[in-house]
């Protein structure tokens, strides 16, 4: 699994409903997304964060990804890896940062307001000719649980119909679809407090190539404490190793 697209650690703390209640809401969501994709001619991925499954729907835009889907297909993951492999690595990393900021932005809102927002960005993806082409990517949460936990997530891919601007990167922004308000995500203010001062201190030392044993001696703490901090850092930044942790923290301006 591509580590930069891994938000599972955050999702695991979300409160979800019992299976019977989820089943009815999930069936409604499947019908909604299927109808939308048919209208929009797009590709959509509906991810069930409680059951770690995704439902992939494709209309005309499916030919871009060389998809041949009738109705929808189910995968045992909340990450559409076959699509991710087609996205330019730099853009996939930036999309990860945008989604991390979006998640933390939503957690600061009342549950009833969260479903009014989505992300929008332009990413490079390989088409059927194996050439990179800019496509539109949007993401949003379709359902909260009855306890307010984020539960059903949707990603929508389609052709980019608007003209590209002059900004660099993926041109990521968060949009309130109810009011029309939007703002570009160039600073990650909702991620600013992700790491404690001690975790930042340890991550700086890691970036300098200092191993856990030496960090423990330098900070006068046990190696078990250092390793626990390292694990917490990886979980908070949704990465699987220290190199990615340093890269993500630097991109989020945490160091």
Q: What does the pLDDT look like over 31-57, one tens digit per residue?
A: 999 999 999 999 999 999 888 899 999
Please check whether residues 118 and 211 belong to one and the same domain: no
pLDDT digits (tens, 9 = 90+) for 69-110: 888 999 998 888 899 999 999 999 999 899 989 988 998 898
pLDDT digits (tens, 9 = 90+) for 2-30: 444 445 454 444 455 566 777 888 999 99
Domain that holds residue 13: 3-184
Is the separation of the CB atoms in 183 and 48 below 8 Å?
no
What CATH number did the domain enclosing 236 receive? Answer: 1.10.10.10
The pLDDT value recorded for residue 11 is 47
Instruction: Please measure the distance between the N-terminal and C-terminal CA atoms of the chain and give it in whole angstroms.
Output: 26
Please check whether residues 198 and 177 belong to one and the same domain: no
Please check whether residues 164 and 40 belong to one and the same domain: yes
Of all residues in the chain, what percent are helix, strand and coil, respectively (each to 5)? 40, 20, 35
- Pair type for strands 150-159 and 173-176: unpaired
**pLDDT classification of 229: cutoffs 50, 70, 90:** very high
| Distance, C-alpha 17 to centroid of its chain | 22
User: Domain count of the chain?
Assistant: 2
Q: What is the DSSP letter of 3?
A: G
- Say whether pTM exceeds 0.75: yes
Task: Report, as an integer, the average pLDDT of 154-176.
Answer: 85
Q: Where a domain ends, among 158, 184, 210?
A: 184
120 CB neighbour count, 10 Å cutoff: 20
- Pair type for strands 132-144 and 43-48: unpaired
Please check whether residues 219 and 157 belong to one and the same domain: no
Across the strands, what pairs with 144?
Answer: 150
The pLDDT value recorded for residue 167 is 62
């Amino acid at each position: 699994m591509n580590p930069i697209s891994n938000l599972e650690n955050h999702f695991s703390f979300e409160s979800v409903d019992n299976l019977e209640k989820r089943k009815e809401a999930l069936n409604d969501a499947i019908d909604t997304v299927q109808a939308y994709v048919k209208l929009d001619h797009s590709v959509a991925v509906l991810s069930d964060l409680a059951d770690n499954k995704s439902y992939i729907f494709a209309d005309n835009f499916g030919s871009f990804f060389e998809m041949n889907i009738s109705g929808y297909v189910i995968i045992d993951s909340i990450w559409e890896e076959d699509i991710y492999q087609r996205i330019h690595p730099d853009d996939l990393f930036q999309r990860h940062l945008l989604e991390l900021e979006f998640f933390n932005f939503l957690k600061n809102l009342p549950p009833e307001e969260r479903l009014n927002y989505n992300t929008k960005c332009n990413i490079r993806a390989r088409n059927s000719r194996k050439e990179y082409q800019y496509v539109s990517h949007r993401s949003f949460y379709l359902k909260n649980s009855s306890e307010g936990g984020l539960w059903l997530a949707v990603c929508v891919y389609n052709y980019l119909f608007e003209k590209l601007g002059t900004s660099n990167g993926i041109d990521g922004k968060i949009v309130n679809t109810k009011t029309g308000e939007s703002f570009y995500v160039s600073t990650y203010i909702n991620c600013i407090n992700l790491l404690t001062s001690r975790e930042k201190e340890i991550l700086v030392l890691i970036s300098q190539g200092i191993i856990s044993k030496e960090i423990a001696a330098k900070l006068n703490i046990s190696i078990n404490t250092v390793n626990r901090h390292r694990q917490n850092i990886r979980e908070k930044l949704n990465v699987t190793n220290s190199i990615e942790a340093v890269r993500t923290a630097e991109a989020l301006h945490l160091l």
